[in-house]
Amino acid sequence: MAASTIRACPTCGQHNRIPARRLADPATCGRCKHALPPAAEPVDADAALFDDAIAAARVPVLVDFWATWCGPCKMVAPEVAKVARATAGQAVVLKVDIDRNPDLAARFGISSVPTFAVFKDGRPVKVQPGAVRSDALLRMVQQAG
């Protein structure tokens, strides 16, 4: 079964399952048929959702590798959210907690947090360790697009 995330309908509140490969696409609520916009917020990703989103994305994917104990990660979270809002439909923003997903961190050699990576066509094209502002993250995404 393909990995998915849940998006609540702004009209009726229905929780709709959205496949990872469709995070950048508009959808329709299963209950009221109201249009659901593309993901405009960072999506928490486990290994399955990460792999599905990276493999099938038609747009760049910005990944925020972070940890709950990391002060700079918490400070940069609003910047990551800005990028998700600004790139809705043109990119996908994932958040990967390295403590809950150590295999993903190891797979990509993440040794410090926060670390940001932009993936295009299933592979990383840019990796940036350290806290950065939304304008720098946006440039990374735009250069990959």
Helix (H) or strand (E) holding 127: strand 123-129
Active site residue 32: no
Q: For residues 39 and 30, give the distance between their C-alpha atoms in angstroms, rounded to a whole number.
A: 17
Q: Among 9, 29, 32, 73, which one carries the catalytic annotation?
A: 73
How many Cα atoms within 13 Å fall on the side-chain side of residue 43? 32
Q: For residues 114 and 53, give the distance between their C-alpha atoms in angstroms, rounded to a whole number.
A: 20
- Adjacent-strand bridge partners of 15: 8
**Is the peptide bond between 114 and the residue preceding it cis, with omega within 30 degrees of 0?**
yes
Catalytic residues: 70, 73
